[in-house]
Amino acid sequence: MAYFILKRLIQSVFVMLAVAFLAFSLFRFVGDPVSQMTGVETSEQDRERLRDELGLNDAFIVQFARFTGDMLKGDFGYSYRTRQPVAEMIATRIPATLELGTVALLISLIVGIPAGVYTALRPRGFVSQTILMTTLVGVSIPTFVIGIMLIFLFGVQLGWLPTFGRGGTVQIGGWTSSLFTSDGWRALILPALTLGVYQLTLTMRLVRAEMMEVMRSDYIRFATARGIPFRSLYFRHALANTMVPVITIIGLQFGGVIAFSIVTESVFQWPGMGLLFLESIRFVDIPVMGVYLVVIAFFFVLVNMAVDLLYVAIDPRLRVREDA
């Protein structure tokens, strides 16, 4: 087990290096950081001097080597835009993104799994059809439109929920959390819903398809014949067997949720990493963009590893094989 984790972590270093390399080779096309950092009246000489100081005139490979070298030493550099340490900037934004992503994931599971089971058991029912139709609509509308519609309805029209930001946050150690105040939860609902809709639909449809498959299998028929209570049959025997593929997909999707919460964060002015990344693109803040992408790559590796470990926990057959 420890060997497995260690191996994955070592692999992650290579993944991050590859991501950093790709990112760096693209940064040159994003724009010129110096003209974003300076005012209109700044002379060309001063711009050139700044460019030299920042090492932007060095060859691409030199810049990349310096970036990775500093990263390996634990020095994440300073933002061009705010001059703050990048590590600190990203660290203060991680809680917002993780909380948003986690709550979005929970919503999608809590709603998606029962809905999937229900629609599988009563595939032709009116309620099932309605659920399937609405979620299909939900998944076909772009995230930012969903977000804006939710803001309009619950924020502007009804005035029930805030339209932007994180609301009340509390500081727990280095972690700024909005999960412990009612204001924080009120602010969290709409963005989490927006971010979770796609996941929810995916989870539901996956559970539904798997469940229908399983319900046709021999052991379920046998169990039905034996008179096992339906509740136990559906949720204990059938559902457990549908979960392996569901967890794979959901797990992999979670990495995507974290990485691509950018749109949701922008619509709700949610102060997470995605919003920081967007601002950084606007200002061609290369150090922040670079570190963000590397951190996201690391998240992906972590999530994949967690999924692999969950497999083992859920499917006893894999455990046996590993033990042997």
Partner 1 sequence: MTFSLLLRSSALASVVVLGAQAASAETFRWASTTDPQTMDPHAVNAAPVLSFLNNIYEGLVRRNQNMQIEPSLATSWEPLEAENGWRFHLREGVTFQDGAEFNAEDVLFSYQRASDEAADVRSWFAPVSEVRVVDDYTVDFVTTAPNPLFPDSIANFMILDKGWAEANDAALPARDAENFATMNVNGTGAFSLSSRDPGVETRLVPNPTWWDEAQHNVTEAVFTPIGNSATGLAALLSGEIDFIQPIPLQDVAQVESRDGFKVLEGEETRVIMFGFGHEHEKLLYSTDVTDANPFQDPKVRLAAAHAIDIDAIDRVIMRGKIEAASQLVPAGISGYSEANADRPAYDPERAKELLAEAGYPDGFSFGLKCTNDRYINDEALCRAAASMFAAVDLKAELTTGPVRDYWTQLREDDFDMYLLGWSPGTFDAEHPIRFLLHSQDDEKKLGSWNFGNYSNARVDELLPLIQEEIDPAARQALIDELVGITQDEVAYIPLYTQPLIWAAKENIDLTQRADNFFMLRWVTIN
Nearer to partner 1, 58 or 279 (CB): 279
Give the whole-angstrom CA distance, residue 262 versus residue 195: 10
Is there a contact between 63 and 51 (Cβ–Cβ < 8 Å)? no
Q: Which stretch binds partner 1 (CB under 8 A): 221-229, 247-255, 263-271, 294-302?
A: 263-271
Which of 117, 276, 286, 301 binds partner 1 (CB under 8 A)? It is: 276
Q: Which stretch binds partner 1 (CB under 8 A): 37-45, 100-108, 298-306, 311-319?
A: 37-45
- Shortest distance (Å) from residue 289 CB to partner 1: 12
**Structure token digits, residue 242:** 């549908």
- Shortest distance (Å) from residue 151 CB to partner 1: 5
Which of 95, 101, 162, 196 binds partner 1 (CB under 8 A)? It is: 162
Q: Does 140 bind partner 1 (CB under 8 A)?
A: no
Nearer to partner 1, 45 or 216 (CB): 45
Is there a contact between 206 and 245 (Cβ–Cβ < 8 Å)? yes
Q: Which residues, numbered 178-207, are part of the site for partner 1 (CB under 8 A)? A: 183
Give the whole-angstrom CA distance, residue 290 versus residue 265: 19
- Shortest distance (Å) from residue 212 CB to partner 1: 36
Q: Does 278 bind partner 1 (CB under 8 A)?
A: yes
Give the CA count within 13 Å in the CB-facing half-sphere of 159.
0
Q: Which stretch binds partner 1 (CB under 8 A): 8-16, 158-166, 212-220, 225-233?
A: 158-166
**Structure token digits, residue 81:** 């835009």
Give the whole-angstrom CA distance, residue 3 versus residue 42: 56
Tokens 């999960």 belong to which residue? 179
Q: How many of the chain's residues bind partner 1 (CB under 8 A)?
A: 54
Nearest Cα neighbor of 94 from 174, 35, 18 is 174
Q: Does 267 bind partner 1 (CB under 8 A)?
A: yes
- Shortest distance (Å) from residue 60 CB to partner 1: 16
Q: Does 124 bind partner 1 (CB under 8 A)?
A: no
Look at residue 144 and give its three-state secondary structure: helix
Give the whole-angstrom CA distance, residue 17 versus residue 293: 10
Strand partners, 87: none
Give the whole-angstrom CA distance, residue 100 versus residue 187: 10
Give the whole-angstrom CA distance, residue 264 versus residue 257: 10
- Shortest distance (Å) from residue 324 CB to partner 1: 53
For the chain, what's the residue count?
Answer: 324
Q: Does 84 bind partner 1 (CB under 8 A)?
A: yes
Q: Does 158 bind partner 1 (CB under 8 A)?
A: yes
Residues that bind partner 1 (CB under 8 A): 29-32, 35-46, 49, 53, 78, 81-85, 89, 145, 148-149, 151-152, 155-159, 162-166, 183, 266-269, 271, 275-276, 278-279, 281-284
